[in-house]
Chain A
């Protein structure tokens, strides 16, 4: 003989305690009782004595329209939705009662976070055995921890940027350094954007250093940096690449007119006397210019070397002038590697 079955002895108060999200539905499909949390979410007692299928849309399994169908061969899980008065999605499980009705227990499933917030549910709305509150705790704890991690990585990224910025900047003049040229040139070449490279080498800089001292030399370098910044365009990249050697990367420039204009202005400005610590200094500059469009495949090392050669032509031809690298020279170098 089977052990006596006491399960039918639970009254509504006991069910409310055990399953605050349950429904007791009669064989006729009329809701006889609603658990307190479900009543709260539904916005009052509107569900009691109403027809189950008027308020709940069964989304899976589909096509069931009466209570008997729900309990005859009960599916493992029900997906349903409260349609009125408020829309809420549920996961549920149904079992047949002795009188042919159904006991349906519901849970909010994965949408629980929003439901709890929207309906302002408290921990007493859930059975003590329900892990919903623990899940909400865990979610909030994880969010707080993630937040800390995110802030930490932002601070680390900020520190890295600052370190990179330092590494790309010449402390004396505030100009970029040689690494910037390589980086920007690589970006431009990668994006197939034309640019010109201008190398500027000071004439008579050694004499200033020798005659007036290094602080005077530093003043000259700072003034040259200012001139270069002022005479180039906003998007041009001005760098100090050596002791008294500077480079300007002119973005979008591949014709000589504009480059000539800029180089000419720089030369004029650098012929002016410079006020330095302990007196006045006079320098000038020799310039070599090349452009990415001269090369079948532009490489910054080639461009630097060619611009440098052009610069020395300027120096040899009497200083304070600019020289352009020509297409011919580039093509010839392609064959015998000698400029």
Chain B
């Protein structure tokens, strides 16, 4: 598994609950490294282990924890790259949703080793969509839910997003788009801020 996945969980815990919380999580399970490296690869079974250890330590259901990780990746001020890179996909929330199918390709363009499973958006009615996706790891769908909710906020859209479940290796997420411009979205400029 790409280290970015593990590093995301680690950073989420460090930035939300403090480094000590992460140290405790890392120490609570055998063979979890003290620090994950985003650019290295790790054994797949570590993904489950780190999620379980974190859920146990924080006394949160896996689903809630992973949804929070998804939200964190887009909305936490310490993490800028995913938010900006996702915003490149569209100038409105509608455009963003309609380019979701490209997400795995976009990610692979940035990180050739990170293979997201295929993802598909289906329009089920006026302002109603269903996102289906393969599964990267157990609970992956909840990360997507958190990420989509945070992106909806990014665009200032009013949406209802819910996890519909898993069937035959596919997760489904329902999206109700009530108002794409409910309020002012977060500022986004194409030109990257000068470091």
Residues on A close to B: CB < 8 A?
113-114, 116-118, 120-124, 133-134, 136-145, 148-149, 152, 155
Contact = CB atoms under 8 A, between A and B. Distances in A.
A128 B156 CA distance: 23
Interface of B: 37-40, 81, 84-85, 88, 90-91, 106, 109-111, 189-192, 194
Given A120-B189, A140-B192, 14 more contacts: A121-B191, A122-B189, A122-B190, A123-B190, A136-B190, A136-B192, A137-B88, A140-B84, A141-B85, A141-B111, A144-B81, A145-B39, A145-B111, A148-B39
B191 A120 contact: yes
Contacts of A123: 88, 90-91, 190
Nearest to A119: B191
B189 A117 contact: yes
15 contacts: A116-B190, A117-B189, A117-B192, A118-B191, A120-B189, A136-B88, A136-B190, A136-B191, A137-B109, A139-B192, A141-B109, A141-B111, A143-B192, A145-B110, A148-B38
- For B109, B190, B194, the residue with the greatest tally of chain A CB atoms inside 10 Å of its CB is B190
A141 B110 contact: yes
A8 B91 CA distance: 32
Contacts of A117: 189-192, 194
B190 A121 contact: yes
Most buried by A among B37, B88, B91, B194: B88
A152 B39 contact: yes
B190 A149 contact: no
A144 B190 contact: no
Nearest to B193: A117
A138 B109 contact: yes
Contacts of B90: 123
Nearest to A115: B191
B85 A113 contact: no
